[in-house]
Amino acid sequence: MVFLPFSIIDNFLAGLPKSRDFDRTAVRDAISDISQEYGFDLDPDAIASTLTIGERQQLEIARLLWMGARVLILDEPTTAISEDQRENLFATIERLAASGMSVIFVSHKLEEIQSICNRVTVLRKGELVDTLAVPCPTSDLIDLMFGGYEQSTPQSQTVLGENVLVLDAISAKDENGTVDGVSCRFSEGEIIGLAGLEGAGQRILLRSISGLTNPFRGTLNFGGEDISHYPYSWYIENGFHYLPADREGEGLIQGLTITEHFALAESQGAKTIDWGKSTQLAEDKLQEYAIRGTVNSKPEDLSGGNQQRLLLALMPANLSILSMEHPTRGLDIESAEWVWNELLERSKSGTTIIFSSSDLEELISFSDRILVCYAGGVIGDISAKSTTPHDIGSLIGGIRI
């Protein structure tokens, strides 16, 4: 961890036991010695907030070396650094390993695993699958990462309409991540799955499509009109809808009853709320969507499946574009099947559905096309009917097919 308001030398000293004496001159000399040995460029008096991501990594590694660490764990360390910084990091890792330090390198980029590691351990769904010596066939890694797939549900049979939304080289950035130069087209009634590891760009792409994050470059063309800088209210008025992965924390409002949720959803722009109408609507939707609760239930009282049913019930009847994150994550089989039956009906009525998922079976079974996100871009645009888990896994790992 780097304390951004602190100088480099104060970052070294932060967190030391009160009982430990320190000499700032000695610490300054240690920073100089470590920097010289490992090729770092660290000025002890520089403020951490002025450093690049690569230099902050150097600071973290140098501090751990100074504290006597013998095992270094790097979690996706190349995500936000340049190619030159990556080469410098790899050179540092090799020096550390040569000095006897153990380095655990967590990455989804298969070419990095092959180039820097001695062994690779594959984890899937929280379990250890296997450990291989490196170098090893990349295809073996992909099979271990994404193996065991059996299609159990029919693939989407959507009859596609005309293009309704066209993204032309859009780039966007916010606290949810970055996308850079993404171009793709979406047809009326089409179901598009977004594959990729967490943080590869799916979330911000969905938010950009929904008007929550305006791109700073490129265009979103809807109905022949560039909407890339329109306010979020315009998207709502024109049938765009977004369902986040965090149903309880972001999609619904804790503390409000189901009736109050429908009152808010139905009274946008109105000066008053018709509570009788809102209560009746809530009762009707509870029955229609088989939500196990009452009009006075609150989101925190509902199961994950019932929260997702409520979110779908709150959606307007006529939608143009529906963007969803992990529509069935955490749901039981019955609830997941119900959600997809509802979404397929929406698709048949002309709604374009764009969803992200980490479940390969869900992506292949319900998508017409699958866009594979990698490092903030779209590395693959493939037909779900003709792809395989191996192909998707290769693209997720950054290997073009």
What angle do the packed helices 304-314 and 275-288 form, to 10 degrees?
A: 120
Residue span of the structural domain in which 316 resides = 163-396
Give domain status of residue 213, yes or no.
Answer: yes
pLDDT of 45 reads 94
Tokens found for residue 98:
């040569």
According to the model, what pLDDT value does residue 202 have? 93
Residues 200 and 86 in one domain: no
Task: Tell which of 94, 121, 146 closes a domain.
Answer: 146
Whether 117 and 240 map to the same domain: the answer is no
* Residue reference for tokens 């992965």: 245
DSSP 67: T
Where b means 16+ CB within 10 Å and e means fewer, 134-148 reads: eeeebeebbbbbbee
Asked whether the beta carbons of 384 and 188 are under 8 A apart, the reply is: no
Structure tokens belonging to residue 232: 């979020």
Q: Residue 83: what pLDDT?
A: 76
Q: b or e along 246-277 (b: 16 or more beta carbons within 10 Å of the residue's beta carbon)?
A: ebeeebbeeeebbbbbbbeebeeeeeeeeeee
Sequence-separated (6 or more) residues with CB below 8 Å from residue 211: 227, 230, 231, 232, 234, 235, 236, 240
Give per-residue burial for 44-58: e unless 16+ CB within 10 Å, then b: bebebeebeebbbbb
Please tell me the predicted confidence (pLDDT) of residue 159: 60
- The chain-wide mean pLDDT, for the chain, equals 89
| pLDDT in the model for residue 258 | 96
- Tell whether 60 and 114 lie within a shared domain: yes
Q: How far apart are CA 313 and CA 164, in angstroms?
A: 24
For residues 296 and 341, membership in a common domain is answered with yes
pTM check: above 0.85: no
> Is 2 a member of any domain?
no
Examine the domain organization and report whether 383 and 293 are in the same domain: yes
344 and 214 in a common domain: yes
Last residue of a domain, one of 112, 146, 180: 146
Q: Residue 192: what pLDDT?
A: 97
In a domain, 157, yes or no: no
User: Residues in the chain with pLDDT < 70?
Assistant: 18-21, 79-80, 147-161, 269, 401
Domain check: are 121 and 242 in the same one?
Answer: no
Whole-number pLDDT of residue 156: 54
Residue 401: inside a domain: no
Domain count, the chain: 2
Residue type (1 letter), 103: V
CATH number for 126? 3.40.50.300
In this structure, the answer to whether residues 121 and 178 fall within a common structural domain is no
Crossing angle for the helix pair 258-266 and 275-288, nearest 10 degrees? 110
The half-sphere exposure of 318 on its side-chain side, counting CA atoms within 13 A, is 2
Q: Is the same domain home to 240 and 289?
A: yes
Establish if 156 belongs to a structural domain. no
**Residue 399 pLDDT:** 82
216 found inside a domain? yes
pLDDT for 33 equals 93
The last residue of one of the domains, among 105, 121, 146, is 146
